[in-house]
């Protein structure tokens, strides 16, 4: 399982080499991985059905309660299968879509990394690992949206997507930590199986708000929906994979995952219903009023995400059944439609629906597939989308609260969606032939197989719904619900209320479609004026605000006078330390100088003399050299008190510091006396103050021992546990090796930072 999750990362590393070998067939070659993963995940189905869920454990950082445990149940398997199944065809598709692109290898590296992160996200059992994978999907998504990095618009959209999702991610982290505090565990399986009433806990409201902030931004709920249409700047395979079928559903996944634990609270269900319904209607309306085929699809994705959220909010067994069915149906048809949109763009040279028309003669296969997928989108029989929509209506009609208003909203959205389906399937392929920039011809096989398989799957699922139901959907519904659910999916339910509603929305939707050309310009005008007050305008205002505040506080705090930085740092640090010392400990000095030796006095005097000289001298070199003397004096002290390792280190570090300082000194201008006497006395006062506080703290530290000293443990166990007699080294490389690892990473980053400063400076000088 670990290998299954991480294989994407591993393969990503090998992509550049593979690209050289396989050339233009790289898409096909890479597709083997998700294809075999699909088989692997499918092979887990029987075990999951038998046991309800599987927990596969790998310890990672057990000391921090962080594990790489994987939780496999119906819900995570549905997601994993969607990711691997759709991923297979997306990779094949990308190979054709981006054939000959100079950054093709880079594209696949990112796609595979994304896929692996997504697997990790939906399979993680530990909240911390889940969050790490969550952020990884945000980052890979950022890189993929900005894939055409020379395009200003793409960069801007990429940043916007990143800011919105990562800001939400931050809230999510807080929410997950609160959740762990509430339930006492970081393990999802433990949280889900505990029967604690989380909604009565004091942190419940805060946790729900934080978690929803994360999932709503990720899954593009109103008012954070604006980043998703902009993300369409990404190449189409990315939109098809990340921004319709997988990444944007991560938020939905997490909500579904936590639904059994958090779903009892009213806040949870009402927030989900409210925001979900608002998102659904907004998305459907904006989809209908757009003209770019990718924007249309993006907005209809927002509509679908809203619907899913709303269904989770309704939370009845029927609603959760509808949730899982709609999730699968949507992934199938939206993935297919996006790939069709890419094919249209690729073959006609435009994304604008208004100039497309009559393409069925030039692209007959594409036209058939598009119609099939669009039928599922519109929710017409005999496709799986129809079953999902019938369930949707039925569950809303039986919703415990707000049934009427939700149903009306849903009918409006469904009506708009019928129009949208017409826009993507009828408008481009039928009617008068349009005037496209490129002469259209049929898309290559690699670009058709994906949408074809997905649409046919939707058709098969529609005709024989009991097959996927028995295989997986029922288990998945059970894991969203927290308890097993009896379902009975069927294409035909007889003439009932849901069917009537479907017919009504279909009729109204066809009417809308017929008048789309007339409605378009007034709708565009309304949208333009609404956009000025929309959330996206708010986003830009907010970003501008951040820049202004950043500039303001930089002017105040970081005005470029290094001395001032030091002064503030030292004064604040020692002011606070001194205050704590006074209030917590008080000052009681008992100095006993009886057993001090004369050479200790000698070293102390040397230190004082060196410090005084280095701060009063007018020669830089002299100052640096006397700092070195100071350091050597400290080293001498270490050696006197038998700490040879520290002594050696101190000596070496001092030597190298002096050398580095001398190297830097050459770059500085002549010594000048720029500060006024007042400033110098102020600095002196702060320096003396800091020195006194530090001395008092050290003296106090000798007095007080809050905890039992750990050094005896090290002394006893260093040789037996770590096979080393040098305790300092054993601590560094064995007992506290993780700290050391962190330190050498910090060291390296510091080196790279200094390097870039030196290099940048050098480049500036080379310019005239």
Partner 1 sequence: MKTNTLILHTAALFIMPLQLMFSLFLLLRGHDEPGGGFIGGLVAASAFVLYAFAFGATATRHILRVDPRDLLSAGLLFALASTIPAFLAGQPMLTAHWWELPLPGDTYLKLSTVLIFDIGVYAAVLGTIMTFVINLMESEE
Residues that bind partner 1 (CB under 8 A): 58-63, 644-645, 648-649, 652-653, 655-656, 659-660, 663-664, 666-667, 722-726, 728-730, 732-734, 737-738, 740-741, 744-745, 747-748, 750-752, 754-755, 758-759, 761-762
Peptide bond into 223 cis (omega under 30): yes
Q: Which is nearer to partner 1, 640 or 750 (CB)?
A: 750
CB of residue 753 to partner 1, shortest distance in Å: 10
Q: How far is the CB of 622 from partner 1 (least distance, A)?
A: 20
Pairing mode, if any, of strands 70-73 and 66-67?
unpaired
Which residue, among 454, 499, 472, 191, has the nearest Cα to 324 in the 3D structure? 472
Report residue 192 as tokens.
Answer: 């889900």
Kindly report each contact of residues 593-596 with a partner whose C-beta sits within 8 Å and lies 24 or more positions away, as own/partner.
Answer: none
Residue 65 or 544: the one with the smaller Cβ distance to partner 1 is 65
Nearer Cβ to partner 1, position 61 or 531? 61
Distance CA 404, CA 127 (A): 37
The least distance separating partner 1 from the CB of residue 103, rounded to whole angstroms, comes to: 24
Whether residue 341 contacts residue 419, with contact meaning beta carbons closer than 8 Å, is answered with: no
Q: What is the CA radius of gyration of the chain?
A: 32
Least Cβ distance, residue 744 to partner 1 (angstroms): 4
Q: In whole angstroms, how close is the CB of 644 to partner 1 at the nearest point? A: 4
Instruction: Give start and end residues of each alpha helix (H) in 98-203.
Output: 104-123, 127-145, 152-183, 188-193
Nearer to partner 1, 387 or 722 (CB): 722
Task: Give the residue from 141, 90, 93 showing the smallest Cα distance to 113.
Answer: 141
Query: CB atoms < 10 A from the CB of 195, how many?
Result: 6
Reduce the DSSP state of residue 352 to 3 states and report it: strand
> Least separation, in Å, of the C-beta of 672 and partner 1?
22
In degrees rounded to 5, what are phi and psi of residue 228?
A: -70, -50
CB-side neighbour CA atoms (13 Å) of 585: 20
Task: Compute the least distance from the CB of residue 763 to partner 1, in Å.
Answer: 10
* Three-state SS at 705: coil
C-alpha distances (whole Å) from 305 to each of 218, 243, 301, 332, 459 are 10, 11, 6, 14, 22
In the bound complex, what is the minimum distance in angstroms from residue 121's beta carbon to partner 1?
A: 21
Compute the least distance from the CB of residue 710 to partner 1, in Å: 18
Instruction: Assign residue 220 a region (left: φ > 0; alpha: ψ between -120 and 50; beta: otherwise).
Output: left
Beta bridge partners of 61: 66
Q: Which is nearer to partner 1, 518 or 725 (CB)?
A: 725
Q: Minimum distance from CB of 735 to partner 1 (Å)? A: 10
Closest to partner 1 by CB, 466 or 638 = 638
CB of 760 vs partner 1, minimal distance in Å: 10
Considering the complex, state which of residue 567 and residue 733 has its C-beta at the smaller distance from partner 1. Answer: 733
- The structure tokens listed for 268 are 């949870």
Report, in Å, the least distance between residue 666 CB and partner 1. 6
Peptide bond into 109 cis (omega under 30): no
- Which residue's CB is nearer to partner 1, number 605 or number 738? 738
DSSP class of 349? S
Looking at the Cβ atoms of 57 and 544, the one nearer to partner 1 is 57
How many other C-beta atoms lie within 10 A of the C-beta of residue 544? Answer: 10
* Nearest of 396, 372, 590 to residue 463 by alpha carbon: 372
Give min distance, CB of 63 to partner 1, in A: 6
Name the one residue in this structure whose structure tokens are 């704590």: 580
Pairing of strands 59-61, 53-56: unpaired
User: Is the Cβ of residue 556 or residue 762 nearer to partner 1 in the bound state?
Assistant: 762
DSSP-based three-state secondary structure for 221? coil
Report d(CA 450, CA 253) in Å as an integer. 24
Q: Closest CB to partner 1 among 531 and 751?
A: 751
Structure-token pair, residue 434: 């349009």
Give the whole-angstrom CA distance, residue 279 versus residue 281: 6
**722-753 CB burial, b ≥16 within 10 A, e <16:** beeeebeebbeeebeeeeeeeeeeeeeeeeee
Nearer to partner 1 (CB atom), residue 270 or residue 756: 756
Give min distance, CB of 724 to partner 1, in A.
4
Q: How many helices (H) and strands (E) does the chain have?
A: 32, 4
Q: Which one, 686 or 727, has the nearer CB to partner 1?
A: 727
CB of 164 to partner 1, least distance (A): 33
Provide the CA 331 distance to its chain's centre, in angstroms: 20
- Name the H helices within 585-736: 598-616, 620-640, 644-665, 677-703, 711-722, 727-730
Choice between 551 and 752, CB closer to partner 1: 752
Is residue 48 a contact partner of residue 475, using CB atoms and an 8 Å limit?
A: yes
Tokens coding 395: 């569950």
Query: Shortest Cβ distance from residue 743 to partner 1 (Å)?
Result: 9
Question: CB-wise, 518 or 667, nearer to partner 1?
Answer: 667
Q: Which is nearer to partner 1, 64 or 551 (CB)?
A: 64
Neighbouring C-beta atoms of residue 616, cutoff 10 Å: 10
């Amino acid at each position: 399982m670990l290998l299954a999750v991480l294989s994407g990362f591993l393969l990503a590393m090998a992509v550049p080499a593979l690209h050289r070998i396989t050339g233009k067939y790289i898409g096909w070659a890479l597709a083997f991985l998700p294809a075999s993963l699909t088989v692997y995940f499918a092979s887990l189905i029987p075990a999951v059905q038998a046991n309800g869920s599987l927990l596969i454990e790998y310890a990672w950082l057990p000391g921090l309660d962080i594990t790489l445990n994987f939780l496999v149940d119906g819900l995570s398997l549905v997601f994993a299968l969607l990711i691997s199944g759709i991923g297979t065809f997306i990779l094949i598709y990308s190979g054709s879509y981006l054939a000959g692109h100079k950054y093709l290898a880079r594209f696949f590296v990112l796609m595979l990394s994304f896929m692996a992160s997504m697997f990790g996200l939906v399979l993680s059992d530990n909240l911390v690992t889940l969050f790490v994978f969550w952020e990884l999907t945000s980052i890979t998504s950022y890189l993929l949206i900005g894939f055409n990095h020379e395009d200003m618009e793409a960069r801007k959209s990429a940043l916007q997507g990143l800011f919105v999702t990562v800001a939400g991610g931050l809230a999510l982290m807080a929410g997950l930590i609160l959740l762990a505090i509430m339930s006492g565990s970081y393990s999802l399986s433990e949280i889900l199986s505990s029967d604690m009433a989380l909604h009565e806990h004091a942190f419940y409201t805060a946790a729900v708000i934080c978690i929803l902030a994360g999932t709503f931004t990720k899954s593009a709920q109103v008012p954070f929906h604006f980043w998703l249409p902009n993300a369409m700047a990404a190449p189409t395979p990315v939109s098809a994979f990340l921004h319709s079928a997988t990444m944007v559903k991560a938020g939905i996944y997490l909500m579904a995952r936590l639904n059994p634990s958090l779903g009892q609270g009213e806040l949870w269900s009402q927030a989900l219903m409210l925001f979900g319904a608002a998102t659904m209607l907004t998305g459907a309306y904006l989809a209908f009023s757009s003209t770019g085929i990718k924007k249309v699809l993006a907005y209809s994705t927002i509509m679908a995400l809203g619907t899913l959220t709303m269904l989770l909010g309704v939370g009845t067994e029927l609603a959760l059944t509808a949730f899982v069915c709609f999730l699968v149906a949507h992934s199938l048809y939206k993935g297919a439609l996006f790939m069709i949109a890419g094919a249209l763009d690729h073959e006609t040279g435009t994304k604008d629906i208004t100039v497309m028309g009559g393409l069925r003669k030039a692209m007959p296969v594409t036209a058939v597939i598009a119609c099939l997928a669009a039928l599922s989108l519109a929710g017409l029989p005999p496709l799986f989308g129809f079953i999902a929509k019938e369930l949707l209506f039925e569950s809303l009609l039986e919703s415990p609260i707000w049934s009427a208003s939700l149903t009306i909203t849903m009918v409006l959205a469904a009506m708009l969606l019928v129009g949208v389906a017409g826009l993507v399937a009828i408008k481009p392929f039928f009617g008068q032939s349009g005037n496209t920039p490129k002469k259209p011809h049929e898309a290559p096989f690699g670009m058709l197989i994906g949408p074809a398989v997905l649409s046919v799957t939707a058709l098969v699922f529609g005709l024989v719904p009991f097959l996927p139901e028995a295989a997986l959907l029922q288990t998945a519904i059970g894991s969203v619900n927290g308890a097993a659910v009896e379902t009975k999916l069927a294409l035909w339910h007889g003439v009932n209320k849901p069917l009537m509603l479907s017919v009504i929305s279909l009729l109204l939707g066809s009417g809308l479609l017929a008048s789309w050309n007339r409605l378009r310009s007034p709708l565009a005008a309304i949208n333009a004026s609404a956009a000025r007050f929309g959330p996206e305008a708010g986003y830009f205002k907010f970003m501008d605000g951040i820049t202004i505040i950043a500039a303001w506080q930089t002017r105040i705090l970081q005005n470029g006078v290094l001395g001032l930085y030091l002064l503030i740092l030292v004064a604040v640090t020692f002011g606070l330390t001194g205050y704590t010392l006074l209030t917590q400990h008080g000052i009681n000095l008992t100095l006993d100088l009886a057993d001090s030796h004369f050479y200790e006095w000698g070293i102390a005097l040397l230190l004082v003399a060196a410090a005084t000289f280095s701060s009063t001298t007018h020669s830089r070199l002299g100052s640096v050299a006397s700092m070195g003397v100071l350091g050597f004096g400290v080293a001498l002290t270490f050696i006197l008190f038998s700490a040879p390792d520290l002594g050696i280190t101190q000596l070496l570090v001092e030597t190298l510091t002096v050398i580095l300082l001398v190297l830097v000194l050459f770059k500085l201008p002549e010594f000048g006396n720029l500060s006024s006497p007042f400033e110098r006395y102020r600095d002196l006062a702060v320096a003396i103050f800091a020195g006194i506080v530090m001395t008092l703290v050290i003296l106090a530290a000798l007095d007080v021992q809050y905890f039992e000293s750990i050094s005896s443990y090290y002394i006893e166990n260093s040789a037996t546990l770590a096979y080393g007699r040098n305790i300092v080294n054993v601590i560094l490389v064995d007992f506290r090796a993780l700290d050391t690892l962190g330190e050498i990473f910090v060291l390296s980053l510091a080196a790279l930072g200094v390097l870039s400063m030196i290099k940048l400076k050098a480049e500036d000088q080379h310019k005239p």
